[in-house]
Amino acid sequence: MEVITNNVPREMIPFECLPKKVQEQVAEDYINAPYFDWVKYKGCWYCLEDFMRSDSLKEWDGIINDTYFSGVLVRIVDNGERIILGRYYC
């Protein structure tokens, strides 16, 4: 598996700080959207609640699968204040 990341910590964005258009879009899909943190990565908005734990990726804290062979990884840093994102390909 290949992992691509620049290891740059990113801020988690609360719902109320998202652009209004994004707030409207995600509010349709997430009943509890105002209670979740979000991050923009590669032009897409990701809800941090959607990341799942994976036992096979020990150095990463969560994963979202985009396809059967690829997805987005998250690592929590700075005592939970920021995150590092990366992409993986099999």
pLDDT tens per residue across span 44-55? 999 999 999 988
- List alpha helices for 1-90, DSSP H: 20-29
The per-residue pLDDT for 28 is 85
Overall average pLDDT of the 62-70 stretch: 94
- One-letter amino acid identity for 72? V
- pLDDT of residue 58 exceeding 90, the answer is no
pLDDT tens per residue across span 78-89? 998 999 999 999
66, 54 contact by CB (below 8 A): no
The per-residue pLDDT for 17 is 94
**First vs last Cα of the chain: how many Å apart?**
5
The count of C-alpha atoms lying within 13 angstroms of the C-alpha of 47, restricted to the half-sphere facing its C-beta, is 16
| Domain residue extents for the chain | 2-89
- pLDDT of residue 27 exceeding 90, the answer is no
